[in-house]
Amino acid sequence: MSNSTLELAKQLIRRPSVTPEDNGCQDLMISRLEAIGFEVERLRFDDVDNFWARRGSSGPLVVFAGHTDVVPTGPLDQWDADPFDPTVVDGMLYGRGAADMKSSLAAFITAIEEFVAVHPDHKGSIGLLITSDEEGPSINGTVKVVEWLERQQIKIDYCIVGEPSSSEVMGDTIKNGRRGSLNGKLVVHGKQGHVAYPHLARNPIHLVMPALTELAATVWDDGNEYFPATTFQISNIHGGTGAENVIPGAVTIDFNFRYCTEVTDEHLKRRVESLLKSYSLDFDLNWRLSGLPFLTPKGRLVEAVTAAIETELGVKTTLSTSGGTSDGRFIAPTGAEVVELGPLNATIHQINECVKVDDLDRLSRVYSRTLEGLLS
């Protein structure tokens, strides 16, 4: 199985599927799935290719979810080799998408092939939900497929997302939830003028600084058993005309909340707007919610994945909700139990992205063992 997973991962990496392009990755996966009895629905929304595949018609429905798209390579001259020509050096597989997440996709396929070969008449159903819009705006990918599934009255019971979750060794961490992500764009208005005559102007940067200081120092909650405390971070400040002697007429501040289940996005919005008004600022504030928090507490899926990791790898895993968002945020609200399990995340989105070759087989075995725990 190791050679099979490695070779499939290489074939996927060779296809330069920079988001939202798929470039034939899904065709490759579909051909393998149809050969073992999966029924496949190709679901293209706008410029995004997606597919839904299922083997079986009864429950429970265990789904593997992932994405074929990758982030841009960055400067090609900084890579040791062509990022779309996978290479193995000193036991590491290099290439864009090696860790995020074409190795997981390859492991999905070989694990399912292995499981079906041993259990051709397995209980329940196996599904795959694959998109090419995870690294992009995430508008026409998983969220649209989930809406399609709901219209078809298809309910996912358990979902494994192949995001790179491991920290130090394969399987040491699985994500059983993610924090919510709330973005704000704040524009504070002042009055433009000459820096030598500040009494004739109103500097919006100066006006907003005390409010920003209070926002940065605010304790929004204390977190809980599964989540760290909510955080507020300013990501960009834009102000001024470019001239050294002009007080700007407005300043724009971009900020983000990564929030836990102790608060809601509406709660955070109210607190921020109330604080800004307390400083008598003239402001406009636009919000964009990019992900609700979700949590899968200890239950059948967590137990099956944890047991598979310990059996196959001899590793006691840790549950975590750290990191950014993933497409799990679109699947969990349907009532599915969702976890993320994949290779090490140390090089994701970086130059010379890589994954241990040995971990490909190990990951495939864990996926297959998880199916054993849920469907046999």
Q: Which among 336, 327, 257, 314 has a CA at the least distance from the CA of 62?
A: 336
Q: Which among 267, 271, 274 has a CA at the least distance from the CA of 292?
A: 267
SS3 content of the chain, % helix, strand, coil (to 5): 35, 30, 40
Angular region, 321: left φ>0, alpha ψ -120 to 50, beta rest: alpha
Q: How far is CA 344 from CA 1, 95, 188, 284, in A?
A: 20, 14, 42, 41
DSSP label at residue 202: B
Query: Strands 92-94, 173-175: parallel, antiparallel or unpaired by DSSP?
Result: unpaired
Q: How far is CA 162 from CA 340, 343, 347, 363, in A?
A: 6, 8, 15, 10
Catalytic residue among 22, 134, 327, 340: 134
CA–CA distance, 310 with 306 (Å, rounded to integer): 6
Q: Which among 209, 171, 146, 167 has a CA at the least distance from the CA of 307?
A: 171
Catalytic residue among 69, 163, 337, 353: 69
Three-class SS state of 45: strand
Which 3-state string (H, E, C) describes 351-371?
CCCEEEHHHHHHHHHHHHHHH
69 counts as catalytic: yes
Q: Which among 258, 255, 252, 256 has a CA at the least distance from the CA of 240?
A: 252
Q: How far is CA 375 from CA 30, 121, 125, 213, 363, in A?
A: 22, 10, 8, 53, 18
Q: Which among 241, 62, 79 has a CA at the least distance from the CA of 156?
A: 62
- Over its C-alpha atoms, the chain yields an Rg (Å, rounded) of 24
Known catalytic residues? 69, 134
